[in-house]
Amino acid sequence: MRIVVTGVPGVGKSTIMEGVAKEAKYRIVNFGDIMLEKARDIGVRNRDEIRKLPVERQRDLQRLAGEEIGRMDNVIVDTHMSIKTPAGFLPGLPEWVLRALRPSMLVLVEANPSSIVGRRRKDSTRYRDSDTEADIEMHQEMNRFFAASCATLTGATVVIIRNEEGKVNEAVEVLLGMIKNG
């Protein structure tokens, strides 16, 4: 099974992945880690610089990362349905990346925009964008549209998981249940 976990920055994907890693018999791969490895050659110093690169550069790194992950079996991929760039929403899973990844389940992790604003503010490990609640609401909405397109192209199921404030373990349990049924 090949599972793709997505959600707006700061919603809590990687935190949920830590919980899933303890239970699931899957390799968990962070798409951004692989893009960052490749981006270091062109002088990128941290993962939050990637989405500010020229979009063509982002697409190149994205394609290379997708091909690398596509060669791995039984993976859960921690990534994004869309990336908010200065040039607009970039699809995280364009057709050529989907073809490489061959997902069987697409997960959207969602939370209240106000919680996400708070999580970004408190997270000093990252250089986070200071979007308003309305910006985040729109990004989450856009991600549902992207997920529908990706599901139609691949036949993958779409799962929406809520990551409520202080309830990461509940989100982990719901995801593990979905994986078992998948």
Q: Is 12 in the site for ligand AMP (CB under 6 A)?
A: no
- What character string, x for contact with ligand AMP (CB under 6 A) and - otherwise, covers 54-73? ----x---x-----------
Q: CB nearer to ligand ATP: give 40 or 152.
A: 40
**Which is nearest to 89 in space by CA: 143, 36, 9?**
143
Beta carbon of residue 31, minimum distance to ligand AMP (angstroms, whole number): 4
Whether the CB-CB separation of 168 and 12 falls below 8 Å is answered with yes
Query: According to the binding rule CB under 6 A, does residue 79 interact with ligand AMP?
Result: yes
Q: Please, which of residues 85-104 interact with ligand AMP by CB under 6 A?
A: 92
Helix (H, G, I), strand (E, B) or coil at 65: helix
In sequence order, which residues have a C-beta less than 8 Å from that of residue 6 and are 6 or more positions away?
A: 13, 79, 80, 81, 92, 106, 107, 108, 109, 143, 147
Among 12, 24, 80, 110, binds ligand AMP (CB under 6 A): 80
- Residue 82 engages ligand ATP in binding (rule: CB under 6 A): no
Name the H helices within 5-46: 13-23, 31-39
Backbone phi, psi, residue 43, to 5°: 90, 10
CB of 119 to ligand ATP, least distance (A): 3
Contacts (CB under 6 A) with ligand ATP, residues 13-52: 13-15
